[in-house]
Amino acid sequence: MRTFLLRRLLLAVVVLFGVSVFTFLAARVVPADAAAKWVGPKATAAQIARARIYLGLNDPLPVQYLRYLSGLVRGDWGESVVTHQPVLGDIKAYLPPSLELLVLSSLLAMAVGIPLGILSARYQDRIPDQLSRLVAITGVSVPSFWLALLLQLLFFQKLKLLPVGGRLDSVFRLAHSVPVMTGSYVLDGLLAGDWALVGSALKHLILPAVTLAAYPIGLVTRMVRSSMTEVLGEDHIRAARAMGIPNRTILGRYALKPAMGPTATVLALSMAYSLSGTFLIEAVFAWPGLGRYAAGALIAADYPAIMGVTVLVAIAYVVLNLIVDLVHAWLDPRISLR
Amino acid sequence: MPEPLLSIEQLTVTFRTEHGPVQVVDIEQLTVGRNEVVGLVGESGCGKSSVALSILGLHPAHAARVGGRVVLEGRNLVGLSERELQKIRGSKVAMIFQDPATAFNPVFTVGEQLMRVIRTHKGGTQRQARARALELLELVGMPDPAGVSCRYPHQLSGGQRQRIMIAVALSCGPDLLIADEPTTALDVTIEAQILDLLKQLQRQFGMGVLLITHDLGVVARTCDRVAVMYAGRVVEEAPVADLFRRPAHPYSRGLLGSLPRRGQELRPIGGTVPDLRHLPPGCRFAPRCPLAVPTCTTHDPKLIDFGSGRSAACPVVHAEEVGVRD
């Protein structure tokens, strides 16, 4: 186990090193002039030239790369060429709302997708399976911004149950001092014992989380169904039935546990993708998350910010893959961690 | 004659296939008494395992239709609800499978799986189930039961797994044990140990055992009585010693003739097993039978009772030939 973690950590370093090289090179290849961005649209040629020197853009590429790399390691991820704010600081501000959304939607995906998948496997090719297939395929194929608008229309406009967007009610924010600790209002509220804050934050989270969960719900449902169908055809399931093990135990334990490995894999991949790929959902719900930050950076050709987000997403992929491997080993004792 | 523990009557199993229904089992009569080991022998694909599965209603309902009666202690099991069958499976009738490597769930320890069966049928606390599980592991000759119970199936050898499978099967004191090729996947030396263990436990518990095998050596070693199956039908039934001494049905004679014996040439049975989708009319063995007469291909033979527990489905064979005197 220790050697496994050590090996994986080493591997992660190699992967992140590769990512840093590629993001750095990509940023140099794009035709946007960083120095011109830095000084703004009305700058003179002399000002741009000074900015080039200041930003070190005249140095040889390897020198620039090493400077970038040592900055990455030291926690200096560069300054935004547009806002002149440190990129890491921006990311720290935008990450908590994104994570909040991501965690809740992943929980939702499991809470809905796993039972639906089990139902599908249990009643293969019968009505419950067809219905769950309908839900799953709708989930993966509906455009998220459209689903978001639909949910807003229903729950905000018609039913007046949930807020239309944002992270807190504006009135609430004015009347209430919001403690700042983790940056996740739900978590901060829980830590401070501030239930009004938790309630308001959760209410605002529901619609975006449901929208974001639609895709992984479909993914998890189909994955649980297909893995379980495979497991249910194995000899040990027939043996368990021959021992008189009740159907619900067979479905909920004997067939589910071996089927969870592949499900964890697809869920983790979809989570890593969703970390920055949720611009549309964040835009519709006025959610200040990483997706909007990344999209804004792209539109402004703010390359230090783009590089920062890219590195962060790479880290997320590495970490989630490591977690998935640990989950696999925990689920299946035949997998040895070496 | 006392009422048998298990009585199979007019049992048919029909699979639904792309080419239409195919009947794989058609058995007139087969019984297993209390404290009796009955062997069911035949070649691969003759329907032996299907018989085993149909006793416990384990054929998937959408793939197979089971007809006839399977009577256990006066109660017909065919057509019972899944719920009622669940109560019988594992408690009154237990089953052990051919390949212990695939019969255990790979992601739970053998102890967990054993205890779950115990708690399913006997209830009780986790603690009681654990104590019972350790007892059973000891009973089937596992050294260090506590250590073994924490192992996963892949951490045990084939022989160990089959011993534990037997422990699982015996955990709730079944009246009938169905053993479907219990030693086929094992080494020859382990095979002998497992068969001896089965025999010893059968006597100790007074169980009826239906032992399904293609191996006449296993039958000779373990069984009291034997039924020979061919192409889905029982063609002969006899006490084990009698079958080996004087087989009645031409197919049984062929089977015994194809056993290797010192100083004798092997005599394989000519021809091949018929395709169950296109069965020959009349006797299913007739196309390969050295004794066949013209009526064999037109008349379906029924089992003829020769007395002394012997019967065969062949009109050509007479009682005197098999050494039975009334």
pLDDT tens for A9-64 read: 899 899 999 999 999 998 888 777 788 888 888 888 899 899 888 888 888 999 99
Compute the distance between CA of residue A172 and CA of residue A199 in angstroms, rounded to an integer: 11
B-facing residues of A in 235-264 (CB < 8 A) are 235-236, 238-247, 249, 253-254, 257-258
Can you give the pLDDT at residue A87? Answer: 94
Contacts of A256 in chain B (CB under 8 A): none
Q: How far is CA B133 from CA A166, B159, B161, B179, B201, in A?
A: 58, 18, 14, 21, 16
Can you give the pLDDT at residue B257? Answer: 84
Compute the distance between CA of residue B264 and CA of residue B246 in angstroms, rounded to an integer: 17
CB atoms within 10 A of CB B111: 22
Q: Give buried/exposed letters for A113-141 (b at 16+ CB in 10 A, else e).
A: bbebbbbbbbeeeeeebeebbebbeebbe
Chain-chain contact of B89 with A331 (C-beta, under 8 angstroms): no
Let me know: does B110 contact B149? Beta carbons within 8 Å. yes
* B35: exposed, middle or buried (Cβ count in 10 Å: 0-12, 13-18, 19+): middle
Q: Token pair of B187, please? A: 């080494």
Q: Token pair of B13, please? A: 């199993």
Chain-chain contact of B87 with A238 (C-beta, under 8 angstroms): no
> Does position A125 have pLDDT exceeding 80, yes or no?
yes
Can you give the pLDDT at residue B94? Answer: 96
Can you give the pLDDT at residue B326? Answer: 46
> Does position B325 have pLDDT exceeding 60, yes or no?
no
Average pLDDT over residues B70-78: 94
Q: How far is CA B147 from CA B92, B119, B137, B138, in A?
A: 29, 20, 10, 11
Q: Taking the CA atoms of A215, A218, A222 and A223 in sequence, report the sign of the dihedral they define.
A: positive
Which of B72, B91, B105, B116 is the best mutation test for A, with the most CBs of A within 10 A?
A: B105
Chain-chain contact of B99 with A235 (C-beta, under 8 angstroms): yes
Instruction: Report yes or no: B103 at the A interface, CB cutoff 8 Å.
Output: yes
3-state DSSP call for residue B93?
A: strand
Per DSSP, what are the bridge partners of residue B238?
A: B226
Tell me the shortest Cα–Cα distance from B181 to chain A, in angstroms: 14
Maximum CA extent, chain B: 67
Cα-Cα end-to-end distance for chain A: 7
Q: Token pair of B112, please? A: 């967990």
Mean pLDDT score across all residues of chain A:
91
Helix pair A303-331, A2-29: axis angle to 10 deg = 160
Can you give the pLDDT at residue A180? Answer: 77
Compute the distance between CA of residue B228 and CA of residue B226 in angstroms, rounded to an integer: 7
Non-local CB neighbours of B245 within 8 Å, separated by 6+ positions: B323
Can you give the pLDDT at residue B191? Answer: 92
Compute the distance between CA of residue B154 and CA of residue A258 in angstroms, rounded to an integer: 14
Under DSSP, the state recorded for A58 is: T
Q: Which tens digit of pLDDT belongs to each residue from A289-314?
A: 999 999 999 898 888 999 999 999 99
Q: How far is CA A61 from CA A20, A186, B33, in A?
A: 13, 44, 88
Compute the distance between CA of residue A106 and CA of residue B122 in angstroms, rounded to an integer: 39
Which of B99, B107, B170 is the best mutation test for A, with the most CBs of A within 10 A?
A: B107
Non-local CB neighbours of B183 within 8 Å, separated by 6+ positions: B162, B190, B191, B194, B195, B213, B215, B218
Superfamily in which the A94-289 domain is placed by CATH: MetI-like (1.10.3720.10)
3-state DSSP call for residue A79?
A: strand
CA angle B22, B28, B32 (to 5 degrees): 115
Can you give the pLDDT at residue B278? Answer: 85
Only one residue has tokens 């196309």, namely: B287
Confidence of residue B10 (pLDDT cuts 50, 70, 90): very high
Bridge-based pairing of strands B233-239 and B225-230 is antiparallel
Instruction: Give kind and range of the element (H or E) at residue A62.
Output: helix A61-74
Compute the distance between CA of residue A91 and CA of residue A40 in angstroms, rounded to an integer: 23
Let me know: does A102 contact A320? Beta carbons within 8 Å. no
Per DSSP, what are the bridge partners of residue B311?
A: B237, B305
Can you give the pLDDT at residue A56? Answer: 86
Q: Token pair of A249, please? A: 């135990």
Chain-chain contact of A241 with B121 (C-beta, under 8 angstroms): no
Mean pLDDT score across all residues of chain B:
91
3-state DSSP call for residue B4?
A: coil
Q: Which tens digit of pLDDT belongs to each residue from B164-208?
A: 999 999 999 999 999 999 998 888 889 999 999 999 999 999 999
Can you give the pLDDT at residue B23? Answer: 92
% pLDDT > 70, chain B:
97
Maximum CA extent, chain A: 85
Chain-chain contact of B154 with A333 (C-beta, under 8 angstroms): yes
Give every strand in the sheet of B233-239, ordered side by side: B93-96, B176-180, B208-213, B37-41, B225-230, B233-239, B310-312, B304-307
Instruction: Report yes or no: B194 at the A interface, CB cutoff 8 Å.
Output: no
The minimal CB distance from A244 to the residues B99, B106, B121 is found for: B121
- Put simply, whether the predicted model's pTM sits higher than 0.80 gets the answer yes
Compute the distance between CA of residue B41 and CA of residue A74 in angstroms, rounded to an integer: 75
Under DSSP, the state recorded for B279 is: P
> φ and ψ at B69, to 5 degrees?
-130, 140
The runs of H, that is alpha helices, within B210-285 are: 216-222, 240-245, 250-257
3-state DSSP call for residue B89?
A: strand
Tell me the shortest Cα–Cα distance from A229 to chain B, in angstroms: 14
Can you give the pLDDT at residue B60? Answer: 87
3-state DSSP call for residue A171?
A: helix
For chain A, domain boundaries: 94-289
> Does position B263 have pLDDT exceeding 80, yes or no?
no
Contacts of B152 in chain A (CB under 8 A): 333-334
> Does position B324 have pLDDT exceeding 70, yes or no?
no
Bridge-based pairing of strands B310-312 and B233-239 is antiparallel
Let me know: does B178 contact B56? Beta carbons within 8 Å. yes
% pLDDT > 90, chain B:
67
Compute the distance between CA of residue A213 and CA of residue A207 in angstroms, rounded to an integer: 10
Tell me the shortest Cα–Cα distance from B123 to chain A, in angstroms: 13
CA angle B169, B175, B179 (to 5 degrees): 45
Contacts of B102 in chain A (CB under 8 A): 234-236
Chain-chain contact of B116 with A245 (C-beta, under 8 angstroms): yes
> Rounded to the nearest 10 degrees, how much is the dihedral formed by the CA atoms of A242, A243, A247, A252?
-120
Average pLDDT over residues B65-78: 94
> Does position A103 have pLDDT exceeding 80, yes or no?
yes
Average pLDDT over residues B143-164: 94
Helix pair A303-331, A290-299: axis angle to 10 deg = 140
Non-local CB neighbours of A56 within 8 Å, separated by 6+ positions: A63, A64, A67
Can you give the pLDDT at residue B323? Answer: 64
> φ and ψ at B79, to 5 degrees?
90, 0
Q: Token pair of A6, please? A: 């050590």
The minimal CB distance from B107 to the residues A238, A244, A333 is found for: A333
CB atoms within 10 A of CB B7: 18
Compute the distance between CA of residue A308 and CA of residue A326 in angstroms, rounded to an integer: 27
Chain-chain contact of B152 with A242 (C-beta, under 8 angstroms): no
Non-local CB neighbours of A117 within 8 Å, separated by 6+ positions: A132, A220, A221, A222, A223, A224, A225, A228, A263
3-state DSSP call for residue A13?
A: helix
Contacts of B52 in chain A (CB under 8 A): none
Q: Which tens digit of pLDDT belongs to each residue from A144-177?
A: 999 999 999 999 999 999 998 889 888 888 888 8
Chain-chain contact of A244 with B105 (C-beta, under 8 angstroms): no
Tell me the shortest Cα–Cα distance from B247 to chain A, in angstroms: 34
Chain-chain contact of B107 with A258 (C-beta, under 8 angstroms): yes
Instruction: Report yes or no: B308 at the A interface, CB cutoff 8 Å.
Output: no
Residue B32 identity (one-letter amino acid): V
Average pLDDT over residues A170-187: 83
Per DSSP, what are the bridge partners of residue B177?
A: B94, B209
